[in-house]
């Protein structure tokens, strides 16, 4: 079946550092791609999404570009803050009549002052 692979964590960065969390997917065709974030003690929140090739999703300073040629959807932020400390999940929905999301394992980010 389809799968999503994210870079292993945990990732520890200093405040204002540049963040990249890699994500690749295996679904064929044109899946929809998502990043979800889980803050400590909370549920999954949609961070951003992209539904077609070359789309860029963005929210709260985070960006990710749907790259069909490399089957990737890497998450980036130019300057992280302590409040960005959370677990980040990449997910895809393959479409074709299916509504289920397939998630990556999650990457824990810790930002230190």
Partner 1 sequence: EPEVTQTPSHQVTQMGQEVILRCVPISNHLYFYWYRQILGQKVEFLVSFYNNEISEKSEIFDDQFSVERPDGSNFTLKIRSTKLEDSAMYFCASSGLGRVNQPQHFGDGTRLSIL
By beta-carbon proximity to partner 1, the closer residue of 17 and 51 is: 51
Token readout for 15 is: 């405040």
Q: How far is the CB of 92 from partner 1 (least distance, A)?
A: 10
Q: Residue length, the chain?
A: 113
Q: How far is the CB of 52 from partner 1 (least distance, A)?
A: 9
Distance CA(67)–CA(63), nearest Å, equals 13
Q: Which residues partner with 41 through β-bridges?
A: none
What residues make contact with partner 1 under the rule CB under 8 A? Answer: 32, 34, 36, 41-46, 49, 51, 89, 91, 93, 95, 97-106
- In this structure, are residues 65 and 78 in contact, taking their beta carbons and an 8 Å threshold? no
By beta-carbon proximity to partner 1, the closer residue of 49 and 74 is: 49
Q: How far is the CB of 93 from partner 1 (least distance, A)?
A: 6
- In this structure, are residues 104 and 49 in contact, taking their beta carbons and an 8 Å threshold? no
By beta-carbon proximity to partner 1, the closer residue of 3 and 79 is: 3
């Amino acid at each position: 079946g389809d799968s999503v692979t994210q870079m292993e964590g945990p990732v520890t960065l200093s405040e204002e550092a540049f963040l990249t969390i890699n994500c690749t997917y295996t679904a064929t065709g044109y899946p929809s791609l998502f990043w979800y974030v889980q803050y400590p003690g909370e549920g999954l929140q949609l961070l951003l999404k992209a539904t077609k090739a070359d789309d860029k999703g963005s929210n709260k300073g985070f960006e990710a570009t749907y790259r069909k040629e490399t089957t990737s959807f890497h998450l980036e932020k130019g300057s992280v803050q302590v409040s960005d400390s959370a677990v980040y999940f990449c997910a895809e929905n393959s479409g074709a009549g299916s509504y289920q999301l397939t998630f990556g394992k999650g990457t824990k980010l810790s930002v230190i002052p």
